[in-house]
Structure 1
Amino acid sequence: MKIFVGYDAREDDAYRVCVQSILRHATGPVSVHPLKQDVLRELGLYTRSADVGAATAFSLTRFLTPYLAAADDYCVFVDCDFLFTRSVTDVLDRLEPNKAVHVVQHDYVPRQQMKMDGRTQSTYPRKNWSSFILFDGRHPKVKALTPSVVNTESPAYLHRFSWLEDDEIGKLDLTWNFLVGEYDAPSTPPASIHYTNGGPWFENCQDVDFADLWTNEYAMLRP
């Protein structure tokens, strides 16, 4: 399985911990790739004007994932502020048939007005659906998600999955995109923990739910 992790230089520690947690828990063959905007620009695959209002450098480049994977198989995009406690390949269990993508279909209003890194918390339809996406590279709608589409369509069109019919979007269990601070913490760690409002790599986020798991993973990073 090819996995593309969004990279933002401002959150390098988060990226490295995310990648390590994927590889450390993998029980099947996986390959992990950084999704770096500057590299995609050098390759001519991402040509949009700079979006100074984007929350991350990979806000829209994530939709290039299936094009980059270039395979008639499943591939994954995930934000860098995730921590995995199970093999990501387990997400393939019990999928809905004939879906272009599978996502956790959050339906919530953010509990906080500000993220812990000082950024304003925005609210919009299908918020956080695109932070973990399982793409089926065999689906024609996924094959049609070309660089031309990613470079010309609006952010809302891409993030709200307007390029798909609703019945082409499969549902994943909440455990695959558990939003720290937005849901009450379960007694057992979710498979995929998303520190969406800020994680322990920020000084003022040391006490968020499951901070200890991230800190322990960070301590295992190679120098």
Structure 2
Amino acid sequence: MHDSVVRIFVGYDRRIHVASTTLAHSITEHSSVPVSVLPLNLRNMRDIFWRNTDPNQSTEFSFSRFLTPYLSGFSGWSIFMDNDIVYLDDIAKLWALRDDKYSVMCVKHDHNPTEDTKFLGEKQTRYEKKNWSSVILFNNAKCTALTPDYVNSATGLQLHQFKWLEGDHLIGEIPASWNYLADYTKGVETPQAVHYTDGGPWYPETENAEYAAKWFEAYRSANYCEVADLDKLLEMTKRSEAKT
């Protein structure tokens, strides 16, 4: 794929399909350039992802994200991002930050949550470089260590702490505005992408998260239908379900 197309892989979890679709819409709605958005649905990846569920992982894509370079043919650049994000700005601006001297680029968070749990009661784990891997720009040709065999056998910390690289000097930094952690990030006046890391606004317990209104705005836009009222569509859906 030509590098004029922004190649994006987004986390996918069957429990929260709405998150991935709303994220994808927010990206395309703001983008000034062509984008390709591919959800990492494990049901489509059985031949290359076979590792067992880890007791510490909170989403289905905790480890599959690291297959992004492999799925890109180890060529060009690709972006991976968690599904609980909404874009408020043109992703072309993020794409323009690519720097070939690095193997990966990310926001280098200093994120030390105090809570023991997060969304859906999942365990809140703490480790060095936490959330660095939630948005990654991959320079794919420099990430050839991430073969299916390695991704399926490496430990969580080996993957999320970028132990597969030959040193942290190969990790470039992007501005925190591109992975703004709702209710955590400080010193950023205008987020360009908001990450609801403790739980998206679609959960009752986090519906009032910082910038929650921005997610609901994107959700309504993603589900807009010019020829029908959304409430009527929901009523029609319920009638259809009742017949089956």
Of 58, 63, 85, 1:60 maps to 63
* Cα distance in 2 for residues equivalent to 1:116 and 1:143: 33
Q: CA deviation at 1:113?
A: 3.4
Q: Give the corresponding residue for 2:39.
A: 34
One-letter code aligned to 1:5:
V
CA RMSD of aligned residues (A): 1.7
**Is the Cα–Cα contact under 8 Å of residues 108 and 132 in structure 2 kept in the other structure?**
yes
Of 10, 18, 41, 2:15 maps to 10
Q: Does 1:120 align with 2:123?
A: yes
Q: Give the corresponding residue for 1:176.
A: 178
Distance 1:107 1:27, change over 3 A: same
Q: How many residues align?
A: 218
* Cα distance in 2 for residues equivalent to 1:97 and 1:32: 22
**Is the Cα–Cα contact under 8 Å of residues 111 and 181 in structure 1 kept in the other structure?**
no
Local SS of the residue matching 1:31: strand
Q: Give the corresponding residue for 1:196.
A: 197
Segments of structure 2 that go 5 or more residues without pairing to the other structure are 1-5, 226-244
Q: CA deviation at 1:70?
A: 1.7
**Is the Cα–Cα contact under 8 Å of residues 117 and 197 in structure 1 kept in the other structure?**
no
Q: Give the corresponding residue for 1:110.
A: 113
Distance 1:35 1:71, change over 3 A: same
Identity in percent: 36
* Greater relative CO, 1 or 2 (CA 8 Å, sep 6+): 1
One-letter code aligned to 2:219:
Y
Which string of whole-angstrom CA distances, capped at 9 and with x for unpartnered residues, describes residues 45-72 of structure 1? 0121233442000010000001112252
Q: CA deviation at 1:87?
A: 1.9
Q: Give the corresponding residue for 1:146.
A: 147
Q: CA deviation at 1:206?
A: 1.6
* Cα distance in 1 for residues equivalent to 2:52 and 2:101: 35
Q: CA deviation at 1:92?
A: 2.9
Segments of structure 1 that go 5 or more residues without pairing to the other structure are none
Q: CA deviation at 1:182?
A: 1.3
**Is the Cα–Cα contact under 8 Å of residues 96 and 171 in structure 1 kept in the other structure?**
no
Deviates more, 1:170-179 or 1:105-114: 105-114
Q: CA deviation at 1:112?
A: 3.2
Determine which structure has more spread, i.e. the larger CA radius of gyration.
2
Map 1:17-96 → 2, pairs under 5 A: 17-41=22-46, 44-70=47-73, 72-96=75-99
Q: Give the corresponding residue for 1:162.
A: 163
* Cα distance in 1 for residues equivalent to 2:202 and 2:60: 18
Local SS of the residue matching 1:109: coil
Q: Give the corresponding residue for 2:132.
A: 129
So what's the TM-score if we normalise by structure 1? 0.91
Which string of whole-angstrom CA distances, capped at 9 and with x for unpartnered residues, describes residues 67-118 of structure 1? 1122521101100000011122211334444100001111132143332432
Local SS of the residue matching 1:143: coil
